[in-house]
Structure 1
Amino acid sequence: MSGRAHAPARASSGYQVWVTGLLSLNFGILFFDRNALNFLMPFVQPDLGLSNTQVGLFSSALSLTWALSGFVVGRVSDRLGAQKAVVVFATLAFCLCSVVSGFATSFLMLLGARLLMGAAEGGVMPVSHAMIVGEVSPERRGMAMGVAQNLGSNLLGSGLAPILLVPLAVAYGWREGFYLAAAPGVITAALIWFTLREPPAVEHHDDAPRVTLRAAFAHRNVVLCALIAILLVSYLVVCWAFMPLFLTKGRGFDPGTMGWLMATLGISAGIGSFAVPALSDAIGRRPVMIAFSFLGAILPLGAIYYGGSAWLLGAIFFFGWALNGLFPMFMATIPAESVDPRLTATLTGVVMGIGEVLGGVLSPFLAGFLADAYGLAAPVWLMLVLCLAAGVLALGLEESAPRVLARRAASGRHPVTPGVVPSA
């Protein structure tokens, strides 16, 4: 067929909300499982006799297979158009890996479980973003991607996880935490299979040349987003891996206080999951990327230097962690708005993969080495350097928010960015 290929009409507003909410819940359960080991590490480390370097290797291992899986699964999904089935299969696989993690009796056994878990989980978010691009209206795309990636993952994975897992470990032991994480994923997998449709294909012209992955990386935004991913993924995984240890061993907080301080991060990111991308929909991606990257500096500085009330330290953690709301923007929204939207899953997988491999894999190992050599404050200093560098890179981004570009085009101030269809 020549000419224009029409996709089916976009789904109702209610269905768009359901798709976004269900994918957010599913990713939240996935992240509960990914973060479980970090919050349980004060109990796991002495039980298995682990060094700080070995602690870092767990995060590195999961990030490596997560990244490889995200890249491969994203490309396969784009080519086959089988997005729903991919998400369901991956969800069931990570539930199984969660149970295996609870059985671990040695460093190598737990390391193997984390490698398998990363492989199971890595493809979920790139494909979820592609489903949202296919179902959600462009003017709400930034907020929808933010909710899907950050709301559930942070309310459950960063907020609820330490509140549930730390008392559970104190009362019964750390293994039960992994068993707890497995069951909910089976429920969300069933809901996705039975209530979601396969998203319609992205509308395109048959005679329009498709943008290749190589051509996509010729765009400055894609390159900068990949570099920012390296830095901010490093910031997050170093915080998850070493902040619980720093708060308990370096600052002397009891496990309960550590648990709710870490839970503050989840509440912050849960709110930021829709507030930060929605703000970028209104005022632009670039200024939000710059401001919130620099704002992240107050968290490591507060963790190291603030000696007052734990409640005020919690407030510092809350505002500093707001940079978590940037993740769907540099991993999916900005690249998808800058080039051919049919590359959404592939680009998300590639940018996420670059961030996970060069940031998520290398930085925990580096942080663990620095902690063994210089003390547990060293990884926290590393976090400070990472977020400041991300803020500097964000200065070079080109604006891609549809509403902002539409206003500029209407006023004649700025040409429309390639790949973006302005929307009022």
Structure 2
Amino acid sequence: MVEKEIDSLCSQYGLKPTSLSDLMLKVNSPDPGLEYGFTGEENSLYLPLYEELKAVSSLSGTGNDFQAYIQFVLNPEKASSEYLADFFNNPLGLKIRKAWETRGFILRPETREPEEPAMALSEVSALHEAAGDAYLSGESGFSGIITSLAANEITFKGKVSVENMCTETGENTSLLSGTAVPLLPGISSFPNVDLDSLTHSKLYLPDLQVQLEVLKIKALTKELISQLSVFECRLSTYPKSITHIRKKLELIREAVKLANDSDYILELIRRGESKKLEFKSTLRMNLLSGKPDWNIEHAVLKTIVAYLNTDGGILLVGVSNSGEVLGIKNDGFPNEDKFLLHFKQLIKQHIGLNYAPMIEYALVPVSGKNILEIDCRKSDKAVFLNPDKNDEEFYIRIGPSSERLTGSKLIEYVNRQYNGKQG
């Protein structure tokens, strides 16, 4: 499931799948002979073997839990360790890390409640020093990986060197095996790690320049949040240039909302059509004939009416049934204003402007194209579609489709849904 989600993200954002093995120069296991477990090499990602811990890009970020991390030294021409750490801490990155455990790439040892308080770091270090010979001989701990001063440093030039490394350990692709040193409360030993499978599992990442730009925007966002907090505190005391400041804040709000809406729409598209979500390729244009078609407009309007009469929902115009983002250009309007005016006129003529407050709509940029997002709330009274002045049609949502009700079924539904109170 996670790989399908990654593939979908790659498709939507135009990204190519990658993996840690494509991005890293070498990987280091924690060295008990070092004060903090690793040497602080530049552009290093410290990836935890337990999902409860955060991925970090600085050695100090591992704290006292450095024994539960692996260090990946990344190629500076391909990836930023800071970006990758942030990626592995976000929802998708966490899903990937959890999937590693589910698929057996990381096998946790049995857990138990500690009978005594966990050892202090100094005690752990002393134990490591006392057990140094055992670690170096491969009798416990890292299963013979640390066999020299540089033995916990493995250089990667492709999959072959990974396989060679695993063969040399005599543990197939298992990098880390059990040790008696407690790492976290209730955990008695290191997990087993199938490093080859883990490093070759799919990720999706933008190119390096985009990664760096994202980091800059994140830093700017944090600074902005800090400044806004100060500004909010001072606002009632120093109400200067209120109008000017308000306009600037509104511009920021709209920019952020637009970016959030775009990603939100992509997430909706990935979910696929449902009772509360439907896609329409165009607002009026028949793509087969290349001409405006009332039947296309009618299909859009009946979906809106069905949402109003049931539990609300979202209609995306400019998206094919398969989830391809087409945009609104196929409708053939000279500009966006003309497109929106035409949509407003359709609502006015065939549903009624009195229902307009329950129909929110906006153009949202998605994958370089604008689509129309129509968000409908549930109406507190029955809503009819008027294809012409002499006809009325009533629709509700049943599953992922809009169904017309007539006669006794219509009366029964209206009485049940609205308690017979209309007007």
Quickly name the TM-score band, shorter chain normalised.
under 0.3
Work out which of the two has the higher radius of gyration on C-alpha atoms and give 1 or 2.
Answer: 2
What TM-score do you get using the length of structure 1 for normalisation? 0.22
Normalized per residue, the structure richer in helix is 1
Greater per-residue strand proportion: 2
Higher relative contact order (CA 8 A, sep 6+): 1
